[in-house]
Amino acid sequence: MAAPVVDSGRSLTMARAGREAVIAAMRANPDIFVIGEDLGGVFGTTVGMADEFGSQRIVDTPISETGFIGIATGAAMAGMHPIIEIAFVDFIGVCYNQIVNFAAKTHYMSGGQFKVPMTMMIGYGGGYCDAAQHSQTLIATLAHMPGIKVITPADAYDAKGLMASCLADDNLCVWMVHKAIWGLGWLGLPIKTALATVPEEDYKVPFGKARIWREGKDVTLVGYGITVHHSLAAADKLAAEGISAEVLDLRTIVPMDRDAVFKSVSKTGHLVVADEDYMNCGVTAEVLASIAERDPRVLQAPAVRVANPDVPIPFSRPMENFALPDADKIVAAAKKTLGKA
Amino acid sequence: MKPTAKQRIWMYERMLTSRKLDEAVFEAYWEGKKPIFHMGKGPLPGEMHQSFGQEPAAVGVCVHLGADDAVGGNHRPHHTAIARGVNLKRMAAELFGKKTGLSGGRGGHMHLYDKNVSFFCSGIIAEGMGPGAGFALAKRMRKQPGIAVSFNGDGAVNQGAFHEVMNMVGLWKLPFIAVIEDNAYAVSCRPSESTAVRAWKRAEAYACGGEYVAGNDPDLIFEAAGRAVEHARSGKGGYILEIQTERLHGHFIGDSAGYRPKEEVAAQKDPIPLYRQRLLDEKVLPAAELDALEARVKQEVDAAMKFGRDSDYPAPQEALEKVFA
Amino acid sequence: MTDVVVPQDLWDTEDEGVLLTWVYSDGAVVQQGKLIAEIMVEKAQLELEAPASGRLRILVQPDAVIKKGQVLAKIESA
């Protein structure tokens, strides 16, 4: 008989962990409410919450993103803290103005008079044949605009802690989770490394602090969200070939922990950055810029980026798999920068 | 419900303050922009959408509002801001881009905000509707009194945001009034060329109240707005109040409005001298007191403009501040 | 010893489900009424609560296809 394990801690999906943070915050603060479409439904993050909080605080809306994001912005300016659920980041196209010109800029344009405490909960990512308008990442598009904090947890522990931090922040925070690691019903089983032990009590994970998932000395693999998991799988494969890879999870894109990236690359001298977003003018470029601007001499070889090669995401599986990053592409990139291709 | 004498005097005083400020701004605007017109030059740079002729729409509505309420203006906000009671000195300083401005110079003419009177602006047509309705939702959720009013032009009613927000206002019976200032022109486009069905006529489609008030007359606007405000305050929900008004100048300073027929422009009536005459005729205020009121207004406006001119600019690196709370 | 059974009324159809994840590890102490596993049926995610308090003994691993009425684990009472 195995040694008894006393209360080993709960292993949760990111969806459930994020939900715990939302519920705890809503119980503590009556000014927090959820607004969005299909709140009972698509991602299950708010399933059953109307039973506890009432339809007053779980506000189901018509298909009117510009309308209800504007409404949420006004409620935030009035001192409440709305949580807006958007199922697919691709939909920000229909409400982009409200996000980037209103919610993001009102604090600044009002000289600090009106805070806009607002959290958006958004799903992103492809790899399941949902094609170009339902599979995007678009994190660079949001990170590019001043006034938006972009939060990208990669596992359940960070999901809960980062959501708690979003709900305590007086600004527009966009908490974004790749659909394949969220732990939703309709994408099969979640990637195992996205599950994590999650404390029952409340806790926060700070913004702007990267996380080293795996230490290594030969090459730094930088990722966020799903590419952390691809990088972990890549690190295993590289280890089998005697290459020691360090896996660094950015955790938040705005603010970005450039110091941690620089420190890791200073140690390994080699850099691979992986991102499911489009490559051009993207987060991968921003990470490279961080090194180049600070001291490019820490790099012993050119860095390599792994990202969508600037194509609309194809529907057909072989083409989609070609366009999106995966562990093998990160392995190839690591070998390339190490001159072992 | 007709306005009391006190309310009528308040409306006149606010209209005059807005007009005097706009006149001073108009004069100052041209400094540095002659002989070559460059929008970015001079002490009052940028676009400038003035409110000449539209003052009645703002005062007739805002006279009914109090500290519990919220008001959203648009890209032509001066009369609305002044009717709402925005700090005049800090408003002028904001137009000059000074450190002492409402937003420390970060917003400017189209982005006037004064938290003390729950006033904000939208520089993008119709996009302030959502935030306005959001204030109304917050009041409902916190069980607080108060309504929200959003000022828009006739050109705003075809924007998606207008429709989306009015649908939710009707669905949830939010205490929200969409004021449409029909000044007959969306820049150069007339409603007959752009709008299949006028906004106030769509009220039933949004389960809201609605009406059109013609004449650009503060007293008539007072009455119609009274109905709209009562509708919203009583819990009946939203209202679309379309107000006929007059844009006496071009869309912005520099727009010669050549697209308007000359006879039409010549036939326009300035509402402020007309209202002054009515106050005299109906013995609301004797001429001497009207003169004294006007002198006070001019003094206040002059002081505000001086404050704006004399104040310092923000330090350049202050541009980096206040992105986040 | 209490069986942890997939309840007959957990979902409406006769479809099979999939055991998505155990919230606690084998040997962990669990409390009656608390969430101990997630089950997926088509697109829906369903919750399985502990029928008793005690030590969890897992019999069926995640990713397994499961049926209503199936015993997934046992709970040893304290």
Choose the mutation target among B100, B137, B139 for the interface with A, i.e. most A CBs under 10 Å. B137
Tens of pLDDT, residues A83-117: 999 989 999 999 999 999 999 999 999 999 999 99
How far apart, in whole angstroms, are the C-alpha atoms of residue A89 and residue A123?
A: 6
User: Which CA distances in Å does B250 have to A156, B128, B216, B247, B260?
Assistant: 57, 23, 18, 7, 9
Residues comprising chain B, all counted = 325
Bridge partners (DSSP) listed for residue B212: B242
Confidence of residue A40 (pLDDT cuts 50, 70, 90): low
**Same-domain status, A35 and A175:** yes
Of A198, A229, A262, the residue at which a domain comes to its end is A198
The reported pLDDT for the residue numbered B230 is 98
Question: What ipTM goes with this model?
Answer: 0.88
A230 is catalytic: no
Tell me which chains share at least 3 CB pairs under 8 Å with chain C: A
Contact yes or no for C21 and A186 at CB 8 A: no
Beta-carbon contacts of A227 under 8 Å, excluding residues fewer than 6 positions away, are A274, A275, A276, A306, A325, A330
Helical ranges in chain B per DSSP H = 5-29, 55-62, 78-84, 88-95, 129-141, 160-172, 191-194, 218-233, 262-267, 271-281, 287-310
Residues A282 and A306 in one domain: yes
- Residues paired with residue C48 on neighbouring β-strands, in sequence order: C37
Lowest mean pLDDT across A34-43, A288-297, B140-149: A34-43
All structural domains of chain B, each given as residue ranges with its CATH number in brackets, are 5-305 (3.40.50.970)
pLDDT grade, residue A2 (50/70/90)?
Answer: very low
Q: A140-169: per-residue pLDDT in tens? A: 999 999 999 999 999 999 999 999 999 999
Q: What residue ranges define each of the domains in chain C, with the CATH number in brackets?
A: 2-76 (2.40.50.100)
Quote the minimal CA–CA distance from A140 to chain B in Å. 18
A41 pLDDT band (50/70/90 cuts)?
Answer: low
3-class secondary structure, B92:
helix
Could you tell me how many CB contacts below 8 A there are between chain A and chain B?
151
Residues A327 and A283 reside in one and the same domain: yes
Whether A51 contacts chain C with CB within 8 A: no
Whether pLDDT at A291 is above 50 = yes
> Is residue B145 within 8 angstroms of chain A, CB to CB?
no
Q: How is residue B268 written in tokens?
A: 């326009």
Residue B58 touches partner A, C-beta closer than 8 Å: no
The CA distance from B26 to B31, in Å, is 9
Same domain, A231 and A291: yes
In chain A, whose CA is at the least distance from the CA of C24? A10
Tell me whether residues B134 and A75 touch, CB distance under 8 A. yes
Is residue A232 domain-resident?
yes
Helix, strand or coil for residue A150? strand
Considering only CB atoms, B137 lies closest to which of A71, A97, A102, namely A71
Q: Is the pLDDT of residue A124 over 60?
A: yes
Q: Which pLDDT value is given to residue A321?
A: 93
C20 against A220, higher pLDDT: A220
Listed in sequence order, the residues at least 6 apart from A192 whose beta carbon sits closer than 8 Å to its beta carbon are: none
Choose from C20, C55, C58, C75 for mutation: most chain A CBs within 10 A. Answer: C20
CA B130 – CA B164 distance, rounded (Å): 8
Please tell me the distance from the alpha carbon of residue A150 to that of residue A140, in angstroms, as a whole number: 9
DSSP state of B87: -
C-beta of residue B210 within 8 angstroms of C-beta of residue B239: yes
In this prediction the pTM is 0.91
**Average pLDDT over chain A, rounded to an integer:** 93
* Regions in chain B scoring below 70 on pLDDT: none
Provide the domain count of chain A: 2
Whether A12 sits inside 8 A of C27 (CB atoms) is no
Q: Write down the pLDDT at residue A131.
A: 92
Q: Which of B183, B186, B180 is nearest to B61 (CA)?
A: B180
pLDDT of amino acid A311: 95
pLDDT digits (tens, 9 = 90+) for A180-209: 998 876 677 778 899 999 999 999 999 999
List all residues 6 or more positions away from A139 whose beta carbon is below 8 Å from its beta carbon: A89, A124, A150, A152, A176, A224, A253, A275, A277, A283
Return the pLDDT at A44.
Answer: 65
How far A174 CA sits from the closest chain C CA (Å)? 25
- Residue B57 tokens read as 């729409």
Catalytic hit among A107, A134, A178, A270:
A134
Alpha carbon separation from B37 to B33, B40, B46, B254, C15 (Å, rounded)? 5, 9, 11, 8, 74
Region class of A23: left (phi > 0), else alpha (psi between -120 and 50), else beta: alpha
> Are A185 and A221 members of one domain?
no
CATH of the domain at A54: 3.40.50.970
More confident residue, B194 or A233: A233
The pLDDT value recorded for residue A273 is 98
Asked if the C-beta of B67 comes within 8 angstroms of chain A's C-beta atoms, the answer is no
Average pLDDT over residues C38-56: 89
Point out the domain boundary residue: A163, A198, A233.
A198
d(CA C23, nearest CA chain A) in Å = 4
| Same domain? A88 vs A185 | yes
DSSP state of B186: B
Q: Specify which residues A220 forms β-bridges with.
A: A246, A271
- At A273, which helix (H) or strand (E)? strand A271-278
| Residue A1: per-residue pLDDT | 38
B 282-301 near A (Cβ less than 8 A): none
Identify whether residues A174 and A258 lie together within a single domain: no
B309 and B96 Cβ atoms separated by less than 8 Å: yes
Helix (H, G, I), strand (E, B) or coil at A194: helix
Predicted confidence band at A30 (pLDDT cuts at 50, 70, 90)? very high
Host domain of residue A104: 11-198
Considering the domain architecture, whether residues A38 and A169 belong to the same structural domain is answered as yes
Tokens representing B99 are: 């450190």
Closest residue in B to A95 (Cα) is B161
CATH (domain of A230): 3.40.50.920
pLDDT band at A6 (very low <50, low <70, confident <90, very high): very low
Rounded to a whole number of angstroms, the distance from the CA of C1 to the nearest CA of chain A is 16
Say whether the B–C interface has 3 or more Cβ pairs within 8 Å. no
Mark yes or no for CB contact B106/A101 under 8 Å: no
Task: Look at residue A205 and tell me if it is in a domain.
Answer: no
Kindly report the average pLDDT of chain C as a whole number.
91
Residues of chain A with pLDDT > 90, as a percent, come to 86
- Residue B6's pLDDT is 98
| Cα–Cα distance for residue pair A75/A31, rounded to 1 Å | 9
**Which has the closest alpha carbon to B59: B180, B276, B217?**
B217
Of C18, C22, C28, the CB nearest to A5: C28
Q: Does C15 touch chain A (CB under 8 A)?
A: no
pLDDT for A7 equals 46
